[in-house]
Amino acid sequence: MLLIPCPWCGPRDEAEFTYGGQAHVPYPRDPAALTDEEWARYLFFRDNPKGPHAERWCHTISCRRWFNVVRDTATNEVLAAYRIGEAGPVIS
Amino acid sequence: MPRQLPSSAHPFRLPTGGRIDRSRTLTFRFDGVAYTGHPGDTLASALLACGVRQVATSIKLGRARGVFGVGSEEPNALVRIEAPYAEAMVTATTVELCEGLVAFGLPGRGRLPDGPDPARYDAVYAHCDVLVVGAGPAGLAAALAAARTGARVVLADENGELGGSLLGRGAADDWGARARDELAGFPQTRVLRRTTVFGYYDDNYLLALERRTAHLGAAAPAHVSRERVWRIRAGRVVLATGAHERPIAFADNDRPGVMLASAARAYVHRFGVAPGRRAVVFTACDSGYPAALDLAAAGTEVAAIVDARPQAGLWAQRARDAGLPVRAGHAVTGTSGDPCLTSVAVRELRDGEPTGPVAVVDADTLLVSGGWNPTVHLFSQAGGTLRHDPARVAFVPRECRQAVEVVGSAAGAFTLAECVADGARAGARAANREATEADLGHVLAPPPDPDDIGGGAPPVPLWLVPGPDEPRTHFVDLQRDVTVADLRRATGAGLSGVEHLKRYTTAGTAHDQGRTSGVLTTGVAAHLLGVEVSALGTTTYRPPYTPVPFAALAGRDRGALHDPVRVTALHDQHLARDAVFENVGQWKRPWYYPLAGEDMAAAVARECRAAREGVAFMDASTLGKIDVQGADAGVFLDRLYTNMISTLKPGRIRYGVMCRADGMVLDDGTVLRTADDRFLVTTTTGNAAAVLDWMEEWLQTEWPQLRVHCASVTEQWATVALVGPRSRDVLSALAPQLPSSSDDFPFMAWRDTRVAGVAARVCRISFSGELAYEINVPPWYAPHVWEAIARAGAPYGITPYGTETMHVLRAEKGYPVVGQDTDGTVTPQDLGLGWAVSAKKRDFVGKRSHARADTARPDRKQLVALLPDDRHTLLPEGGQVVADAPLPAPPVPMLGHITSSYRSTALGRTFALALVRGGRERVGQRIYVPVGSVLVPVTVAEPVLYDPEGARRDG
Amino acid sequence: MSAGTRPPGADLPEHPDHLWREPDPKRSYDVVIVGGGGHGLATAHYLARAHGITNVAVLERGWLAGGNMARNTTIIRSNYLWDESAAVYEFALKLWEGLEAELDYPLLFSQRGVLNLAHSLQDVRDSVRRVEANRLGGIDAEWLDADGVREVCPIVDISPAARYPVLGGTYQPRAGIAKHDHVAWALARSADAAGVDLIQGCEVTGIDVRGGRVTGVRTTRGSIAAGRVALCAAGHTSVLAAMAGFELPLQSHPLQALVSELLEPVHPTVVMSNAVHVYVSQAHKGELVMGAGIDAYTAYTQRGAFHVVERQMAAALELFPVFARAHVLRTWGGIVDVTPDASPIVGRSPVAGLYLNCGWGTGGFKATPGAGAILAHTVAHDEPHPLARPFSLDRFTTGALVDEHGAAAVAH
């Protein structure tokens, strides 16, 4: 049970949240202009690193806000949490 | 028949001592025999007091086994309990004796109780600054030091009494008692007895199991949960989990009468029980000596202390001074008895090999101390790493990412003074305070430790005493019957890692999870492989630390509380009309309303007839409703729906479809424009939450610049669908202000009005093709409105109908149901809803995917109707569709499957909807549906079978 | 079930006296298989047995079969919905049926049947759909009503008063379980005997690609040249693909499982319930083996969160009230690699000579011999096995998914 620091509510149990996959994958500006390969990348390909991972979470059963978290997938350590629109930390 | 022992028969009970209540006697039965014990006894101590040596037989070899340990580390004494509560398999050492206990020894395999478990279980959250696990000297000191700083402290210990190794130890026990008393005075400190911390997860989240009533036996109050799971989030954790003594592998080291030295001491001190009359002590460290001295003081004759170390040091001197014979540099090489121990074979040990003559020593008890294994299980679960300390011959904690500290013997400290000082400092540190003498007061001044004689001899690694024969009775894992011979076979097969050795031999996989055997297995394997113990390491320690009942983990989430039941405001109305309910997600929805003597088919036929020929009404409240507001609401909905929503006029309604980004149908429903900047969106019942989540996700993560807000209003409106050619007559009577002509109140429009005197929003929409209305009112008025409709409709024979009739009516019209006629692989075009997919809009979610090669294929599976040649044959939903008869040999190519299938009163026949490959091209063709061994011929038809011109919707 | 006078647990067959060598890696092999789990070992076995290719190394960063192979719930079945999936799993099941003889090793392959329970009317439709498709596909499958479910498994609670009553279930009699260590070790022994080098403690740290073609791997035990490299690394496939310079549509999730203490036989088959999220069998020694759904977030931790286990226990007791006083003895987690359509990716990769076998998600164990045979064929011929063709990487571009979890949509 991770302790996830919601930027709006503070640290809460993982069970209150919904995982939303990789962060910072914007909807393409003009999908019609993309090739099938490019569109497939948007639809189906997401980072799957062993290490720091910028990802989206939603505090579903509380403030219902989406926000971003950087979590190390090798240790589950949460390295940062920030609101949508805020700049994330630089992960080296 | 149970045999009755004399009630005074406690041949091994010491005249004094122990933390038992001798003023009261408890009766219990074991393996059909009646015995007695005292409050404070465990089942194991009571059996030992009564002279019961063999408690069980072993799992593979059927060998006799007795009590070996004193707590959860016990590998032998597995029992099943029948009364006053039922247990499949527990250790006799952890069962607190209660009146009327009935238990049976088990050969390593439990038996689940037959009947239902009447007990309750629950779970509690706790948050604390400092969690201290273990209330021995180190844990007590840690908890006290932390509590004195004002920190919120939780102290958990698996025993019924705090004190750990101090219990029953005279002056040391008094120290513990003072610590317990002081702790009780801190309001911020919670002490959990009989509570085993069994799991250590990420971010200092720990789980503990509190056993609340078993020790009370039949007197346990029914309203108190039997067991409670504690979900603890701790700022810092202090692990004072102690250490387990380690056995040694020698021939026949499993006989009843062989026992860990520390366990024997505990039986003397805590329970006032002598483990035997005449004992031999076999030790590879100093710990055997105080055990021998304690036993001697309690009246057990100590026949020999066999110390594997040639230089036994101060302790040996002290033992000799007390008149106990010490044989340094010797080892126990075997035991005899039938089956319980009667003698011990002793030989000199030279370079690890027994040598010289065999001395046979008569004894009924053999205490073993091969050294100590710090209890590092929770530390390992936390992600901590271990290192092997050769000086202590032990794996000790190294480092951990989490906020945890290990103290006392769990960290390898083995004197009382060390443990107390260690614990106190860690407790204060955990509470963010550096400890000072003044803070800690007497905590830093432990009682004089009789085991600390100012110097001892270092332990030696002694895993295995070879000989005299093949090591087939040199047990490393008593519970799995794993011997040195087994390990030798495994290493001989080419295995060199502990995880492989474990799997080859099954060592460490039993109920005790290798508590006493794990490190011994490593030691013996290292010996066999000729490598260092440190190079081999241990197997991974995984949760739970001790076995946890399924029922405790399930807690209250069972039966009606397993998942919430949602009912509508009209539930009582449905009950009053004898509705049969269907689970739809969490909702209970009326499925059909049978009259007396009607089966489902008859009820549905009657309900359908009413809707098509007269008037019928249903509770549609479970449909999801989302209020979408804001200046950009139209733009937003245009992006999510496949069709154009922003052009909808206030007062009007449009049907819309949503796709996922991959182009597949997500949901459908109607959209009402309630104002220029406001829409009311309806969703399918099962997808209500998902669609709201979907909207929020796009709004917050992709389009935060859009001025739009969404709120669920599903439960703010109750909805009654009023359907059928006479529905206008019924509604006119109840809502005189509502325009009745289709010119003034056209199809796909809504009006605010009053229905039966209640403010209502009425929509002219139809999921049946008939003239129909949906009447939305605040839920608290819903029963009134429902009954008013029933009364107003009575002259027309108004009939309530359920989901089954709804499905028949909509299927006759070819309206698909998301989740029944779709499965996540279906596009709007596949459903024949191409008309609802805007070609004009530059983009909407899913549009790009429709242009992909496979998604744009003309021969995709498409929704069509199937008409069986025999008008009475009802096709099975889920049935597959094939092109040709007779069937070829498998695998048979399949065209698709039946998604919906009904008997239609209106059509006078059965029909089905199906997703069929290239279905629209096949209209008019004959294809087949295999049903059992029969191939049912069917004709493909356009999906709209009833009133294809749409002539009926205006009445 | 035998009442049995022998002590329980006495019947587990022993492992053989010799399993495998522990060779040092050579400088070069014809084929390097990355990952010494079930799929990697099966691929090595079939490369040798079916294609005569034995200059092969299996590189394992930990200990052989210590990843998902040691962590799964050992369920074997082939009653998948889509023809493409059913064909692969049925191919595997047929191999299972001959595997003990083929490997001369007691695998404890027990065809005790698998029940998939239905709890809603839509579950029933979906179940019948799958049964009908399976039967036409030549796979044994039956639809059982609630009483039929109780006949197969008397301890399932079929009371209509349950929160989500059992309305029936699909049953595949040929499905069952096997003992995972025995399976892996049998394959390893066979490969070793054929000359394959099984190299443990050997982590791949780089993949060498020259001119779009793989030339070898770098490892913690030195560089190893290879003309062909096959990835059989399950949850770590993304990490390896990144070394070769391409990405895959995979997400690695924890999947937890647990066992109880040893219990006298109570549960004669395998029961799965997607609606209440639990699957359970009773293994040969007597322990209940259970699994649940994946943890929601990606992780390489080989551990999940405990609330998932608690929920799983509640679900288990809804179906099996008799399990109330069974105990969780041990829990653990594997790392499963999940694709967007919950079907595997098998075949060529964007790098010539580098072959993919990944995305088996929660279903990898049951595919073990099939996956190995298919991948061995693909590697040997540089051409996807016919059964692997629907599972190519380009299906994500065309949209021709084999959507095994799309079929679980719930709505009304």
Question: Coil, strand or helix: which one is B586?
Answer: coil
CA distance B343 to B896: 78
Q: Are A1 and B661 inside 8 Å of each other by CB? A: no
CB contact at 8 A, B341 and B366: yes
Q: What residue type is B648 in one-letter code?
A: L
Question: Confidence class of residue C6 from pLDDT cuts 50, 70 and 90?
Answer: very low
Q: Which two tokens stand for residue C369?
A: 């011999």
Q: What residue ranges do the domains of chain C occupy?
A: 28-70+181-249+341-398, 111-173+251-338
Burial grade of B535 (CB within 10 A; 0-12, 13-18, 19 or more): exposed
Between B98-107, B765-774, C263-272, C289-298, the lowest mean confidence (pLDDT) is in: C289-298
B247, B389, B520, B818, C42 from B498: Cα distances, Å: 18, 18, 11, 53, 23
Does residue A8 fall inside a structural domain? yes
pLDDT value, residue C293: 82
C29: amino acid identity, one letter: Y
ipTM over the 0.90 cut-off: yes
CB contact under 8 A, B696 and A77: no
- Establish if A64 belongs to a structural domain: yes
* Chain C residues whose beta carbon lies within 8 Å of the beta carbon of residue A48: 238, 248, 250-252, 298
Provide the CATH topology of domain C28-70+181-249+341-398: FAD/NAD(P)-binding domain (3.50.50)
Decide if C271 contacts C176 (C-beta within 8 A). Answer: no
Complete DSSP assignment for B333-362:
EEEEESSSEEEEEEEEEETTEEEEEEEEEE
Would residue A88 count as lying in a domain? no
- As a whole number of angstroms, the distance between CA C285 and CA C261 comes to 10
Nearest CA to B665 among B653, B657, B673? B657
Which run of H or of E encompasses B307?
strand B301-307
Rounded Cα distance between B839 and B764, Å, is 27
What span, in angstroms and rounded, lies between the C-alpha atoms of C359 and C128? 27
pLDDT beyond 70 at C350: yes
| B895-948 residue pLDDT tens | 999 999 999 999 999 999 999 999 999 999 999 999 999 999 999 999 999 999
- In angstroms, the CA B904 to CA B154 distance is 66
Taking the Cβ of residue B203 and every Cβ of chain C, the question of whether any pair is shorter than 8 Å is answered with: no
Residue type, B168: G
Angle CA B417–B422–B428, to nearest 5: 130
Q: Which of residues 35-74 of A touch C (CB under 8 A)?
A: 36-37, 40, 43-50, 53, 55, 71, 73-74
- For chain C, report the end-to-end CA distance as a whole number of angstroms: 43
CA–CA dist C109, C93 (Å, integer):
11
Dist CA C152 CA C173 (whole Å): 10
- Domain with residue A71: its CATH number is 3.30.2270.10
The residue among B591, B823, B895 with the most chain C CBs within 10 A of its CB, best to mutate, is: B823
Residue A91 within any structural domain of the chain: no
With a cut of 60, say whether residue C409 has pLDDT above it.
Answer: no
What is this structure's pTM? 0.95
- Looking at the domain assignment, is residue A92 inside a domain? no
- The region of weakest confidence among A81-85, B172-176, B424-428, C25-29 is B172-176
Is position A41 within any domain?
Answer: yes
- The whole-angstrom separation of Cα C300 and Cα C291 is 18
HEC-encoded secondary structure of C97-110: HHHHHHHCCCCCCE
Give the number of other Cβ atoms within 10 Å of residue B595's Cβ. Answer: 11
The terminus-to-terminus CA distance of chain A in angstroms comes to 27
| pLDDT mean over C60-66 | 96
Q: What is the DSSP string of C39-108?
A: HHHHHHHHHHHHH----EEEE-SSSTT-SGGGTS--EE----SSHHHHHHHHHHHHHHHHHHHHHTS---
Task: Say if residue C410's pLDDT is above 50.
Answer: no
Residues belonging to chain A: 92
Q: What is the pLDDT of residue C302?
A: 84
With an 8 Å Cβ cutoff, are C250 and A48 in contact?
yes
A85 Cα to chain C: minimum distance (Å): 22
Q: Which residues in A lie closer than 8 A to residue B231 (C-beta atoms)?
A: 1
Position B6 confidence tier, pLDDT thresholds 50, 70, 90: very low
Describe the crossing of helices C38-51 and C180-193 by its angle, rounded to 10 degrees. 40
- Give the max Cα distance, chain C: 67
Question: Is there a contact between B825 and C403 if contact means CB atoms under 8 Å apart?
Answer: yes
Query: Comparing C-alpha atoms, which of B740, B743, B737 is closest to residue B727?
Result: B740
Q: What is the pLDDT of residue B150?
A: 92
Based on its alpha-carbon atoms, the radius of gyration of chain C, rounded to whole angstroms, reads: 21
CA distance B689 to chain A (A): 11
Nearest CB among A15, A21, A48 relative to C307 is that of: A15
Name which of A12, A16, A39 to mutate to probe chain B: the one with the most chain B Cβ atoms within 10 A of its Cβ. Answer: A39
Q: Are B247 and B237 in contact (CB under 8 A)?
A: no
pLDDT band at C408 (very low <50, low <70, confident <90, very high): very low
- For B366: left if phi > 0, alpha if psi spans -120 to 50, otherwise beta; the answer is beta
> Which residues on B lie below 8 Å from A28 (Cβ)?
848
What does the pLDDT average to over B719-724? 98
- Touching subunits for chain A (3+ Cβ pairs under 8 A): B, C
Q: Report chain C residues whose CB lies below 8 A from the CB of B549.
A: 324-328
What pLDDT is recorded for position B438? 57
| Homologous superfamily, domain C111-173+251-338 | D-Amino Acid Oxidase, subunit A, domain 2 (3.30.9.10)
Residues of A in contact with C359 (CB under 8 A): none
**pLDDT, tens digit, 9 for 90 and up, residues B474-498:** 999 999 999 999 999 999 999 999 9
Q: Could you count the other beta carbons within 10 Å of the beta carbon of residue B31?
A: 16
| 3-state secondary structure string across B371-392 | CEEECCHHHHHCCCEEEEECCC
* C236: nearest CA partner in chain A: A50
CB C225 within 8 A of CB C303: no
CA distance B565 to chain A (A): 18
Of B202, B203, B848, the CB nearest to A34: B848
Dist CA B231 CA B197 (whole Å): 10
Residues of B in contact with C406 (CB under 8 A): 664, 823-825
Q: Is the pLDDT of residue B440 over 70?
A: no
Query: Which residues on A lie below 8 Å from C358 (Cβ)?
Result: none
Q: Does A66 touch chain B (CB under 8 A)?
A: yes
Beta strands in B390-486 (DSSP E): 394-399, 404-406, 475-477, 482-483
Number of inter-chain CB pairs under 8 A, A vs B = 63
How far is it, in rounded angstroms, from Cα A46 to Cα A56?
Answer: 12
Are residues B548 and C8, on separate chains, in Cβ contact within 8 Å? Answer: no
Comparing CB atoms, the residue among A15, A40, A48 nearest residue C251 is A48
Tell me if A66 and B700 make a contact (CB, 8 A cut-off).
Answer: yes
Maximum Cα interatomic distance, chain B, rounded to a whole number of Å: 116
C-alpha C50/C-alpha C376 separation (Å) is: 8
Residue B471 φ/ψ, nearest 5 degrees: -80, 55
What residues of B are in contact with residue C1 (Cβ under 8 Å)?
Answer: none
Kindly tell me if the per-residue pLDDT of B268 is higher than 80: yes
Longest alpha-carbon distance in chain A: 42
Res. C7: pLDDT tops 80: no
Q: What is the DSSP letter of C383?
A: S
Enter the DSSP assignment of A14.
G
Sequential DSSP letters for B802-856 = -HHHHHHHHHHTT---TTTT--SS--TTTTT-GGGS-SSSS--TTHHHHTSTTTT
Task: Specify the 3-state DSSP secondary structure of B691.
Answer: helix
Mean of the pLDDT values across residues B742-754?
A: 96
Mean pLDDT of B713-718: 97
Residues of B in contact with A20 (CB under 8 A): 697, 701
- For chain C, the residue count is 412
Determine the structural domain holding residue A34 and report its residue range. Answer: 3-83
Exposed e or buried b per residue across C234-251, where buried means at least 16 C-beta atoms within 10 angstroms of its C-beta = bbbbbbbbbbbeeebbbb
Task: Please state, rounded to an integer, the average pLDDT across all residues of chain C.
Answer: 93
Which of C249, C300, C340 minimises the CB distance to A50? C300
Contact A58 B697 (CB under 8 A): yes
Mean pLDDT of chain B: 95
What tokens does B142 get?
A: 């840690």
**Minimum CA–CA partner of A21 in chain C:** C297
Question: Do residues C131 and B894 lie in contact, with contact meaning Cβ atoms separated by under 8 Å?
Answer: no
Above 50 in pLDDT, residue C257? yes
pLDDT tens digit sequence for C96-143: 999 999 999 999 999 999 999 999 999 999 999 999 999 999 999 999
pLDDT for A58-71, tens place per residue?
999 999 999 999 99
Nearest to B654 by CA among B675, B670, B637, B636: B670
pLDDT of residue C4: 35
Percent of chain B whose pLDDT exceeds 90: 90
What pLDDT is recorded for position B452?
A: 82
Interface check A76 vs C, CB under 8 A: yes
Contacts of A31 in chain C (CB under 8 A): none
For B354-371, b/e burial (b = at least 16 CB within 10 A) is beeeebebebbbbbbbbb
Statement: residue B578 has pLDDT above 50: yes
Q: How far is CA B538 from CA B500, B541, B542, B622, C261, in A?
A: 11, 8, 12, 56, 21
Quick count: other Cβ atoms within 10 Å of Cβ B701? Answer: 21
The minimal CB distance from B547 to the residues C9, C261, C403 is found for C261
Chain C contact for B375, CB < 8 A?
no
Residue B335 has pLDDT above 90, yes or no: yes
What would the pLDDT profile of B645-679 be if each residue is shown by its tens digit? 999 999 999 999 999 999 999 999 999 999 999 99
Instruction: Decide if pLDDT at C303 tops 90.
Output: no
Number of separate domains in chain A? 1
